[in-house]
Structure 1
Amino acid sequence: MTAPPENAATARPAGSKRKIRVLQVTPTFYPEVGGIETVIEELTAHLGHYDIESEIAHLSLANKTLQKEIHAGRCVWRVPLIGSRLIGLAPQLRKISEDFDLLHVHDPQLAAITASVMLFGRAKPAVLSTHGGYYHTSQLGLAKAIHEKILMRPALKRYGKVLASSAADYAWFKNYSTRVSLCSNGVNIERFQLPSKTLLNANRWIYWGRLSRNKRLDRVIACVAQARKAGAAVDLCICGPDFDGLQQELKRQIVDAGLTKCVELKPFLSIEALRDELASRAVFITASEHEGFGLSIVEAMAAGCLIICRDMDPLNRFVRDGENGLFLDFDGGVQDEARLARFLAMGESTVVDASKASEKRAASYSWQTAVVPFVDAYHQALD
């Protein structure tokens, strides 16, 4: 596989060109919580340093009428989506897109959102962020295969630039467009840095993020059971919004496995509460089977956490087995058992070194650096 080009670092100085107005078009936004929402909030904040002004168009079935709101000082348009999130249209996008120079579309499904941009985007220049594409689950497998074969290329032709959120996205999307470039998301590492963190116990685990099926939290809980059966006093905190209605199912698994005293389910935590929780946790664990970028993993690394995850792209680009984390198959087998035993037997100084390695690797994903390729892509799309 041809390696994708690294993110460019040729920032145009603020004020070097006229102010650009960008409409960020997304299928999800606050109060929903997840990777796309976080990326849009952070990206728009940093774009302001380059004379790029953003507003947000949230296209959703939940929006019954066109509404304008202000969130964190930024204009958010709640645009009704008619139909379904896959086969649907948002005609009122035409009304609000008129005053913008560029549309930045966040549409991993390449379905209703892209169709609305094609029909109601006033032929404005547009770029697409891929956010992992649509193979993060096996659901609708036949429909996805048909879309990939018949509709992928025509959909991507609408975009002057296709911004691959990871090397895996780059490798996939370059088969369908000649306009693909690597444009990895950034992370607000400053928000998660804990310079006073001193408690580094490898038995203290955390997962935060959506409770969704592709995250395989059932295998995370099974991993805790496996570690405790081997004699390790592991405890786990799981926190985040219940995206797929899994909470009761996970609670039953915890009870059935006899883990009620060592696995805790918490709701979504504010940043302040999450920082407090992270101060007493040394390991972030995820059994996710697909990641578009791995935002929460890099956030955890910024907080000095070691990472337990699968050996897969893009996670293995910033997690190093034996350096700042551990790769597992999450199959409950003897190999995982042996790897876990070695990991949990680490001495305090080894954990400290691994924690520092996580912090160092996370620093390279700061938005101060990551925003530059987005700025360049916008100018290229408009030139």
Structure 2
Amino acid sequence: MQGFTNVHLLHVVRQYAPMVGGLEDFVRNLVARQKGRFASVRVLTLDRLFTHPDQLLPEDVIIDGIPVRRIPYYGSSRYPVAPAVFSNLGQADLIHVHAVDFFFDALALTKPLHRRKLVATTHGGFFHTEQSLGFKTVWLNTMTRLSSRLYDGIACCSNNDLEMFRKLAPTKARLIENGVDLSKFHDAAAPMPVKRLVSIGRFSANKRLDRTLDALQSLVRSDPAWQLDIIGSPSDLSVADLEELTAARDLKSHVHLHLGLSDTAVCDVLSRSSIFVSASEYEGFGIAMIEALSAGLIPVVQPNTAFRALAERHPMVHLADFADPEQAAGTISHVMAELVRAPALRRSAVVSAEQHAWSTTIGHYDELYMDALRS
């Protein structure tokens, strides 16, 4: 791999550890693999977690051997404004912005002043829900278009993002799919088929956990043996919200919530499961599903753009419209029957996930950085 021993690299991301999620895990994994290969690597992020906005985090910490600085913000979590970003660029030669938000726009529009090289990773843009869709479309075609053209390179983590950003900055956008830590849950799923589902991710409105519960309710009517583990952290939905949704469907004895688990504890939950489920309406890439494959779980997921693209590459991924709980339940039952007939499908899932190894992703980011520095 290429070295950048004279380059000071700064990652700017709105949320970082201890926040847990697809975006945060991706940046943390990327940073960990860049340690020692640059003159310096730092992370700049916000001083509060969106899930605990009243709790102030320490300003300066070391995480995985990497300096992390946290700065204040105001406004909503959808577009947190943090002017202190400009006084915390330090000696950075190259700034890597993650996601399309205030940081993305602010650092682009002030590029003539700070004169740093800029690259970005889209992480799904900001179209994670249908909320304010008209305003988002206008913003995309005005502010985001202007900002995008000031970047030296834009990594789109899905074909959907690539299609979007090629319209905004055709010479800057390229496809770099997210790397996934395949060792974290490697081969962790139940060795033999069991009627137990698992969902992994934030309790966000767009994840449509209500529809996942509807599908489970349909399964339980036919066979009370079905169980569901929900692993994640509160977001748009609280624990109380989920408990209320569960109780309304008379599923208390079939649903198990898991909060703040370590990777080891997650593996323990996965060891009792055979099928990964997600009714998510939108995904930037689908890291949780790839992690599920690496564990040996068979996914049954909503046919959103990201999951459809991944299903084309992973034949063991099953698409089902969770808006129709009977259809989703039928697909899950079909998958269970397939697993019983052919337990080797579990191993096929583990092998299939290997195409998303970090080694390939790091090489693509090296090329992005080199092209940006030369531009």
Does residue 138 in structure 1 map to residue 125 in structure 2? no
Task: Supply the distance in 2 between the matched residues of 1:370 and 1:285 (Cα, whole angstroms).
Answer: 26
Q: Secondary structure at the match of 1:115?
A: helix
Q: Do 1:163 and 1:182's aligned partners in 2 also have CA atoms closer than 8 Å?
A: yes
Of 21-30 and 117-126, the range deviating more from structure 2: 117-126
User: Could you say which residue in structure 1 is the equivalent of 2:11?
Assistant: 24
- Which of 43, 49, 59 lines up with 1:56 in the alignment? 43
Task: Supply the distance in 2 between the matched residues of 1:343 and 1:87 (Cα, whole angstroms).
Answer: 40
Does residue 172 in structure 1 map to residue 164 in structure 2? yes
Counterpart residue identity of residue 182, structure 2? I
Q: Secondary structure at the match of 1:126?
A: strand
Residue 85 of structure 1, CA deviation: 4.6
Task: Supply the distance in 1 between the matched residues of 2:92 and 2:314 (Cα, whole angstroms).
Answer: 48
User: Could you say which residue in structure 2 is the equivalent of 1:255?
Assistant: 247
Residue 339 of structure 1, CA deviation: 3.0
Distance 1:224 1:52, change over 3 A: farther
Does residue 343 in structure 1 map to residue 335 in structure 2? yes
Residue 209 of structure 1, CA deviation: 1.3
Counterpart residue identity of residue 354, structure 1? L
Counterpart residue identity of residue 119, structure 1? T
Per-residue CA distance 1:225-279 (angstroms, 9 max, x = gap): 1112233621101121101133222212222222111111121211110011111
Q: Do 2:149 and 2:168's aligned partners in 1 also have CA atoms closer than 8 Å?
A: no
User: Could you say which residue in structure 1 is the equivalent of 2:91?
Assistant: 99
TM value normalised by structure 2? 0.90
Task: Supply the distance in 1 between the matched residues of 2:330 and 2:2 (Cα, whole angstroms).
Answer: 53
Q: Do 1:86 and 1:112's aligned partners in 2 also have CA atoms closer than 8 Å?
A: no
Q: Do 1:207 and 1:239's aligned partners in 2 also have CA atoms closer than 8 Å?
A: yes
Q: Do 1:65 and 1:79's aligned partners in 2 also have CA atoms closer than 8 Å?
A: no
User: Could you say which residue in structure 1 is the equivalent of 2:294?
Assistant: 302
Counterpart residue identity of residue 180, structure 1? A
User: Could you say which residue in structure 2 is the equivalent of 1:73?
Assistant: 65
Does residue 189 in structure 1 map to residue 173 in structure 2? no
Structure 2 runs not aligned, ≥5 long: none
Distance 1:49 1:29, change over 3 A: same
Q: Secondary structure at the match of 2:311?
A: coil
Give runs of aligned pairs for residues 133-282 of structure 1, distance below 5 A. Answer: 133-178=125-170, 179-194=172-187, 199-231=191-223, 233-282=225-274
Per-residue CA distance 1:163-205 (angstroms, 9 max, x = gap): 101111101111111210001110110121137x653324111
Q: Do 1:210 and 1:243's aligned partners in 2 also have CA atoms closer than 8 Å?
A: yes
Counterpart residue identity of residue 38, structure 1? D
Task: Supply the distance in 2 between the matched residues of 1:56 and 1:322 (Cα, whole angstroms).
Answer: 34
Task: Supply the distance in 1 between the matched residues of 2:23 and 2:83 (Cα, whole angstroms).
Answer: 23
Residue 151 of structure 1, CA deviation: 1.5
Q: Secondary structure at the match of 1:25?
A: strand
Give runs of aligned pairs for residues 309-328 of structure 1, distance below 5 A. Answer: 309-319=301-311, 323-328=315-320
Counterpart residue identity of residue 24, structure 2? E
Residue 216 of structure 1, CA deviation: 0.4
Does residue 365 in structure 1 map to residue 352 in structure 2? no
Structure 1 runs not aligned, ≥5 long: 1-12
Does residue 37 in structure 1 map to residue 28 in structure 2? no
Residue 47 of structure 1, CA deviation: 2.2
Matched pairs, number: 367
Q: Do 1:307 and 1:319's aligned partners in 2 also have CA atoms closer than 8 Å?
A: no
- What percentage of residue pairs aligned between the two structures are identical? 25
Of 94-103 and 309-318, the range deviating more from structure 2: 309-318
Task: Supply the distance in 1 between the matched residues of 2:364 and 2:312 (Cα, whole angstroms).
Answer: 25
Does residue 115 in structure 1 map to residue 106 in structure 2? yes
Task: Supply the distance in 1 between the matched residues of 2:269 and 2:176 (Cα, whole angstroms).
Answer: 31
Q: Do 1:168 and 1:314's aligned partners in 2 also have CA atoms closer than 8 Å?
A: yes
Of 86-95 and 283-292, the range deviating more from structure 2: 86-95
TM value normalised by structure 1? 0.88
